[in-house]
Amino acid sequence: MSSSTALMIPTSMRAAQVNRFGEARDVFEVVHNAPTPSPGEGEVLVRQRATSVNPIDCRRRGGYGKKLMELRGMADLPLLLGNDVSGDIVAVGPGVSDRLLPGDAVFGAKRPSKEGTYAEYCVVKADDVVHKPAALSYAQAAALPYAFLSAWAALRDAGLQATTAAGKRVFLQGGSGGTGVVTIQVCKALGAHVATTAGPAGVELCRDLGADEVVNYRTQDFAEHLSDFDFAVCLADQGEEKKMLSILRDGPGSGYATLCTP
């Protein structure tokens, strides 16, 4: 089914736009007449039921990455932030297989763009969404994709591989944050031994998610309690990079990665 034969779609929509860079209370504007996008080749149009706010959205709202977006031709204002897609397909573009049809509930992550997911409708590549499990609400599904992809990218950058992860020792600095809780579960699902740091309120959460060792960073220095790890991933404070490197085992095959931005 092509977009021309899809469900009834309004020509305009509500959207939360950023018209200049700065603090959230100063730069967001909810408009009711943003043009509804149309799916192109290999794309689907999704009516959003839920999305999420990730740290990268807050940074982009303040101007982070502006020069890179300019080089990509994606820096024009107004800007729609948001990466997580969770909703129902209302139209499909040319070249989309019948795996995805109007009416299907889907979730996924939109690639970097100036037309994000803080709107009633968004266009996303068909390859970047999958069917939403019935057991997940739209809000639950919206909380997963970008965090999961970020977690997996960091683990891969550190050198962890799904086929050899079992038994590896992985340290996650900042395990109780949005990406941290996903990263813990990914590592445990792959059979790794996981140690992480958390504040007092997050210690039990990390344990409940399967972390083998949880260090309360308010009262303990993880570098004094942990050693001989294969991989370390920075999820919170890049200023602790030297300490994270110090707990890695000697020899080839260990690795470090960070999801932090300056």
Q: Which tops the pLDDT comparison, 262 or 133?
A: 133
Report all structural domains of the chain as residue ranges with CATH numbers, in order of start: 3-135 (3.90.180.10), 146-258 (3.40.50.720)
pLDDT exceeds 90 at position 132: yes
pLDDT band at 238 (very low <50, low <70, confident <90, very high): confident
Rounded to the nearest integer, the mean pLDDT of the chain is 90
Tell whether the model's pLDDT for residue 3 goes beyond 50: no
Confidence tier at 113 by pLDDT (50, 70, 90): confident
Q: How far apart are alpha carbons 146 and 107 in whole angstroms? A: 10
Range in 2-6, 29-33, 211-215, 233-237 the model is least confident about:
2-6
Q: What is the mean pLDDT of residues 108-133?
A: 94
Q: Please state the rounded mean pLDDT for residues 129-137.
A: 97
Contacts by 210-213, CB closer than 8 A, 24 or more apart: 210/184, 210/185, 211/172, 211/175, 211/184
Report the distance separating Cα 196 and Cα 226, nearest Å: 10
Distances (CA, A) of 76 to 39, 63, 106, 256: 20, 12, 29, 35
- pLDDT tens for 158-197 read 999 999 999 999 999 999 988 899 999 999 999 999 999 9
Res. 260 pLDDT band, cuts 50 70 90: low
Whether this prediction's pTM lies above 0.75 is answered by: yes
- Average pLDDT for residues 55-76, to the nearest whole number? 74
Q: Please give the Cα distance from 253 to 230 (Å, whole number).
A: 7
